Amino acid sequence: MTEIITPNEFGTITEKKIIDFQKIIGFELPDDYSKFLKLYNGGKTKFDSLKIYNRKKEEIWSFGYLFGIHNKEYWASIFWAMKSLENRIPNEFLPIADNNGGDYYVMNLSKEKFGQIFIWNHDNESVKNGTKYYKNLTFLFNSFSELLQNLTIDNKKIDITIIETDDDFIIS
């Protein structure tokens, strides 16, 4: 498992709560994801990016917060993410994290693609009901564990320091 720097920030989760959650969504959760929720219930990782292989080329994509099962802070709640994406994503997908830019990392819970991870792109979402719209979903990983293994730190981010000197600014 990856290192979570804010484990159980909004409370711990029990097996019973996970079972209750599965009843609410109408799908079972993969074992690796259930285990993660029991240990951490979402949280911020020490990594800010995700390594993706797009057309055999490595890319680094932004990665935000892994949602937990709680009704506390909206930006960290899987319930809020589900509500926000209601009728915008197919029913068999569960939002599990954000990318800090309006897109979501989602998990497919259907029997055919159980546990696979996709990115849901908000720029290309359906203008009508999105519950049967798949064109803005891109496959990324076969499992939640694989997603965690590809978390990374983006070393190419530029740090800008602004130093005030009279009326001029120096960017270093």
pLDDT value at residue 73 = 87
Judge whether 29 and 18 are in contact, CB under 8 Å.
Answer: yes
pLDDT value at residue 36 = 95
Please say if the pLDDT value at position 166 is more than 70: no
**pLDDT tens, 24-73?**
999 999 999 999 999 999 999 988 899 998 778 888 999 999 999 998 88
128 confidence band (pLDDT: 50, 70, 90): confident
Please state whether 15 falls in left (phi above 0), alpha (psi between -120 and 50) or beta.
alpha
Instruction: Please give the mean pLDDT across all residues of the chain.
Output: 89
Tokens of 39: 């240990």
**pLDDT tens, 99-115?**
999 999 999 999 999 99
130 confidence band (pLDDT: 50, 70, 90): confident
pLDDT value at residue 131 = 87
Q: What is the pTM of this model?
A: 0.86
Instruction: List the one residue out of 57, 10, 63 whose CA is nearest residue 37.
Output: 10
**Distance of alpha carbon 103 from alpha carbon 26, whole angstroms:** 23
pLDDT value at residue 154 = 77
Higher pLDDT, 128 or 14: 14
Domains of the chain: 15-155 (3.40.1580.10)
